[in-house]
Structure 1
Amino acid sequence: MKQPENMCKVRNTVVNNVGRRVKIKANKGRNKVDIAEGIIAQTYPCVFLIQVEGELAESVKTMSFSYTDVLTKEVELVLC
């Protein structure tokens, strides 16, 4: 029963920081780590979206992560 409580804390933290800039470090497996900086765009019951600016000025990439990814430390979020 402890895990849902922690999951709620993770979700509340993300919801409270919508619109703020974050640095994302995502473990993709096989020694591959994806590091990006973006803005928390939207939150949903199971996932949240982060908009990352691409190399070109007009390109915006949307990445989605689940709260479970943050809880299991597959994804690390740091507020900028």
Structure 2
Amino acid sequence: MAKTLIEIKRSLDENVGKRITIQANGGRKKMIERSGLLEGTYPAVFTIKLDEDQNTVERVSYSYTDILTETVKLSVCEEAKATEQV
């Protein structure tokens, strides 16, 4: 991904509203994987609205530094577009 905090924020700004998957460091060699919608980007953090059926919390936020230090790994899900036949 990007190498500076500004580049990370800009790339996330372009993906607001898209579905993403996050792998976060849960401590003691545990990785937590969550998915949801990138809800918003702010000067120091970004927020993700998680899928309700899979998680007990509704939203999480991470800082851009978490991505820079690879504490959080983020991937944008490419949704397959359905085509309608008439």
Runs of 4 or more, structure 1, over 2 Å off, are none
The yes-or-no answer on 1:50 pairing with 2:48 is yes
Structure 2: where are the runs of 5+ without partners?
78-86
Question: What TM-score results when the alignment is normalised by the length of structure 1?
Answer: 0.84
Aligned-pair identity in percent equals 38
- Aligned positions, number: 74
Cα deviation digits, residues 12-68 of structure 1 (max 9, x gap): 011110000001000121112110111000111000000001227xx7610100000
What residue is the counterpart of 1:74 in the other structure?
71
Alpha-carbon separation, structure 2, partners of 1:36 and 1:25: 7
Aligned residue for 1:70, secondary structure, equals helix
Question: What TM-score results when the alignment is normalised by the length of structure 2?
Answer: 0.79
| Higher-Rg member (1/2) | 2
Alpha-carbon separation, structure 2, partners of 1:60 and 1:72: 24
- The structure richer in helix per residue is 1
Code of the aligned partner of 1:72:
T
- The structure richer in strand per residue is 1
